[in-house]
Amino acid sequence: MMKVDGIYLLVFLYADPGSGMLIWQLITAAGLGLLFYSRTIVKKIRGILSPERKKNSSPTNE
């Protein structure tokens, strides 16, 4: 039920079988996208905080 201007209305929604597959595809794509994006962010943070990242500021002549 939905309330509009103090009046309750019955709302009927239609979903065909293709809509269910579209929703599953959307959920799966969003989950995988979030997974890959979070991996990239974690790698960047680890790279910044890693002690191996610190380099000598003066170049060495050989």
Which pLDDT belongs to residue 26? 94
Which pLDDT belongs to residue 18? 84
Which pLDDT belongs to residue 51? 78
**Alpha-carbon torsion, ordered 24, 28, 29, 30, to 10 deg:** 100
> Rounded to two decimals, what is the model's pTM?
0.47
* Calpha distance 1→15 (Å, rounded): 17
What does the pLDDT profile of the chain (62 residues) look like in tens digits? 666 666 666 666 676 778 888 889 999 999 999 998 998 899 889 888 887 755 555 555 55
Closest CA to 53 of 61, 44, 62, 40: 44
